[in-house]
Amino acid sequence: MCGRFTQYYSYDEVHAFLNLIPAQSNLQPRYHICPTDPIDVVLAADGGKLSIERMRWGLAPYWWKEPLKKLPATFNARAETVATKPFFRSAFRSKRAVIPASGYYEWQDRADGKQPWYFTPARAPIFLIAGLWESWSDPEPPKETVRSATMIITEPNKFVAQYHDRMPVLLEKSEIGNWLSGAYGLERLVPAPDDWLKAWPVSRAVNSSKAPDLPELIKEIQL
């Protein structure tokens, strides 16, 4: 499962990488994004352009009738069940998204406990995770509308399998249009090539969701 990740690019960097429509945005570097935090999400916009939006990480389907605090963990959607599981199947059909990221954390089971590793693109400045989004209306007053997103995870490639048994579905920049339009289906939810990522061990401070959001979290340590 991908339960923590980073988005520490500037707006100029992500705009140049994805050719986003102009927008006023002051993106702050973030090194420790946890489920239910707000995240940057890329959606299709008019004229074949892309826009970047802020959404809750953890998808709330439109039909959910309880408070968000009762929602199960929906920050990841498994590739094997994303088209059939009630929480995700409607969004998979019609509400595709791309989640830009600078990197993500995953945990390796070791004799002395869980060791976090930080995965980041081997070449590109940003990687693109296949995702879904939804718009949900709180049934309780003041009946706030919340937009939320999830990232799709799949089996690991050989590189990631050294550390963990799942990885996000990563897209090429050229594939964004086909993903967002729905032209790509389940056949695209496969592991990225082995050379797309690099990784290094980081402090176990990341093991706590209360760890401060600081760049020191992604600093390589010696094991």
What pLDDT tens digit does each residue of the chain (223 aa) get?
A: 789 999 998 888 888 888 887 665 678 899 999 999 999 999 998 888 899 999 999 999 999 999 999 999 999 999 999 999 999 999 999 999 999 999 999 999 999 999 999 999 998 889 999 999 999 998 888 888 999 999 999 999 999 999 999 999 999 999 999 999 999 999 999 999 999 999 999 999 999 999 999 999 999 999 8
Does 156 map to a domain?
A: yes
Burial letters 161-173, b for 16+ CB under 10 A, else e: eebbebbbbbbee
Which CATH number do you get for residue 181? 3.90.1680.10
Number of H helices, E strands in the chain: 3, 13
Within a domain: 31: yes
CA distance 113 to 204: 10
Catalytic, 134? Answer no
Q: Is 106 a catalytic residue?
A: yes
Residue with tokens 């299709």: 44
DSSP 166: -
- Residue 223 resides in a domain: no
Q: Residue 193 belongs to what domain range?
A: 4-217
Transcribe 59-125 into DSSP letters: ---TT--S-GGG----SEEETTTTTTSTTTHHHHHH-EEEEEESEEEEEEEETTEEEEEEEEESSSS
> Would you say residue 203 lies in a domain?
yes
Sign of CA dihedral 88, 90, 93, 97: negative
Looking at residue 23, what is its pLDDT?
Answer: 61
**Whole-angstrom distance, CA of residue 163 vs CA of residue 43:** 31
| Helix (H) or strand (E) run with residue 126 in it | none
Position 201 scores a pLDDT of 97
222 domain residue, yes or no: no
User: Does 18 reside within a domain?
Assistant: yes
pTM attached to this predicted model = 0.95
Looking at the structure of the chain, the number of domains it has is 1
Of 13, 34, 53, 106, which is the active-site residue? 106
Does some domain include residue 101? yes
Please indicate, yes or no, if residue 183 is contained in any of the structural domains.
yes
